[in-house]
Amino acid sequence: MKLSTTVLALQLSLSVFAQPHLKSDTTRSLSGVVVQAYQYNRPVSETPVALGIVTGNELNRFNNTSLVSTVNTIPGVRMEERSPGSYRFSVRGSSLRSPFGVRNVKFYWNGLPLTDGGGNTYLNLIDFDAVGRMEILKGPGASLYGANTSGVVLMNTPTAQQNRLQVSAVGGSFGLQRYQTNSVFGNDKHKFFFNYAHQQSDGYRQQSAMQKNAFNAEGKFSLHAKSFLSVSLFYTDLNYQTPGGLSLAQYSTDPQQASTINGSAVAQKAAVYNKTIYASSSLEHQWSAQWSTRIGVYGSYTDFTNPAIANYKREIDQNLGGRMTTQYELTHRQWKGKLNFGAEYQYVSLPISNYTNLGGTPGNLQTNDHLQSNSAITFAQLEVEFPENYFLTIGGSGNFLAYHFDRTVGMFPGQQQRNFDPVFSPRLAALKKITDSFSLFGSVSKGFSAPALAEVLPSSRIYNNNLSPEQGINYELGLRGNLLKALSFDVVAYDFELTQAIVDQKNIFGDYFINTGNTSQKGIETFLSWQKINPSARINYFKCWVSSTITQYKFVSYVYNNISYSGKQLTGSPSNTTALGADASVGGFYVNVTATYVSQIPLNNANSVYASDYFLAGARIGYKNEWMKKTPFEFFAGVDNVLDQKYSLGNDINAVNGLYFNAAAPRNFYLGIKIIPKLN
């Protein structure tokens, strides 16, 4: 087995705030950041996993309206925005399966699945100010989190020690408007978080306007000394227009135009309307000094309407599920450890109706389908800390999945059932803490990812009951630490070998998916940062960082329609991405500067068409202080794509008629204000 050397690093703690109560965040060393992933709850220096951590400090480097710019500073992770509100999220090349949306990366919201049992994630429903922290785990997480081969993202709402109220507003180019308010209040026995935001944009292109209203609520209750209850709720009403892909000639001539070749996006009023409510509740109980249990349940209801160029779709997503984890702490004279075990279950009911699109209204019924999914995982993980700072993790999960399909109207009516073979996904990881400043770790893990419901019943509307799950083995070796408390680094080498890879194809009827054979995904990912803090100096805080990703992703064996694509670069992934930034504060003033380079991207499996490389630069400046020493406030302004680069963010891969390109906005500006009164 071959193991390529790769550097992966993450930005862990960044602060541009000048207030004293926030300066402690900037001084946290790499070893002091606590990781929740894989139930470790340990400092990152004792955690054998490749990951990126995003906190409010990282999010506030940009325009406070989207996660895209922040996520793209994490090596190995790429987030795209095809038009305002339309996102793709990939980890280490997983965009191969994502013509749109989020697949093969599993998301959790406050400890419970946000990704449904059919493999779909409506990431665009989550409001920017409802996110307080993200942990992005790279590589297969199936040993504890079920079906995925690319990664897992753990998202949580913000936490605050003081009761407070926040009010903010942002305005910018292309009709960008955002108005938001949230509050945190309570005491040691109970704490509440509420957030409401309205956001809208006209978009850069024709037929790309967006409007979103989002409400979030969370409550945490101490029932008694050993029991804690948390409840979470969000409701989002989102609609955004979809301009469609452009040919190279259209993109070169007028990148603002909407698609017209296979039909007019404007005339058909192509758009997405999504109304979703998601609710969850979790109970934690400490049975004894050794035993504890966390059990949670959730449910969601989505009303989804999508008038597209070729059809008009209506679907109602109904999701139910739960997760239980029990932990037992082990002690011995020579070692100590933790045993975690539990189960997760998800159920999805998805009636889908497709109509002729008559200028944005439904016409004749074309197909009427009902999809159901039942998925379950059982998992166990043993973590042991040995003398001399050696750490060992052994874990694995059993994955069970069944799909049911029923068509009452349309071609090939009838019922079909698919019970996938159970899959065991193990993970072995070890770490040696060489000193307090250096850690060396390695892991071997197996990933399993079943085809999503949107892949077995894609936009071509032909149900594929023979699409197989993809499976792969990932090898990693990492080094992380810091030097002289100023320079921090995180280095990971990985080699991911995937079999039965699922690849998106297109024809005149829409998308369809096939198993291609094998892929090989190796890369070099690097993140280094240096920071200097001196409260008495004129520049009281300075930090610079660089993030670089170099990959070698290719098809190992892939023959389709008697054409061999073996040896070709993996579709949809750049081979080189580099981001760098600098942050400084002087008194109450601060500045954040960011630059990103992305190499050319192959847009079809034959590698005959590429999206051009591009270089982006932007900056945010602001001023923070307190009014009458009781009310913190902030003014900020910024510019994105300051060099006015022409580029496509969120390309359509393997597109019919060469409609590959979704033009991103040119130079654009934003201005914002934030006021945070303290509540007694």
Q: Which residues of 205-226 are buried (b: 16+ CB within 10 A; e: fewer)?
A: bbbbbbbbbbbbbbbbeeeeee
Spatial contact of 58 and 543, defined as CB atoms under 8 Å apart: no
421 backbone dihedrals φ, ψ, rounded to 5°: -65, 140
Torsion of CA 24, 30, 36, 40, to 10 degrees: -130
Quote the mean pLDDT of the chain.
90
Reported confidence tier of residue 512, pLDDT bands at 50, 70, 90: confident
Spatial contact of 125 and 107, defined as CB atoms under 8 Å apart: no
Domains located in the chain, CATH noted:
20-645+658-675 (2.40.170.20)
d(CA 176, CA 128): 14
d(CA 658, CA 653): 9
- Structure tokens belonging to residue 401: 């999945």
d(CA 309, CA 288): 59
Of the candidates 522, 435, 440, the one whose C-alpha atom is nearest the C-alpha of residue 484 is 435
Task: Encode pLDDT of 382-401 as tens digits.
Answer: 999 999 999 999 999 999 99
Reported confidence tier of residue 19, pLDDT bands at 50, 70, 90: very low
Considering the entire predicted model, what is its pTM? 0.93
- Structure tokens belonging to residue 413: 């009516």
d(CA 489, CA 12): 10
d(CA 333, CA 348): 48
d(CA 653, CA 606): 11
Torsion of CA 338, 7, 646, 639, to 10 degrees: 60
Q: How far is CA 460 from CA 95, 109, 476, in A?
A: 19, 31, 38
* Residue 9 scores a pLDDT above 60: no
d(CA 99, CA 653): 7
* Residue 26 scores a pLDDT above 70: no
Give pLDDT, residue 535: 75
Contacts of 570 (CB under 8 A, 6+ apart): 93, 96, 519, 521, 553, 554, 555, 602
DSSP 3-state assignment of 454?
A: helix
Reported confidence tier of residue 13, pLDDT bands at 50, 70, 90: very low
List of E strands, 358-469:
362-386, 390-409, 414-419, 423-435, 438-449
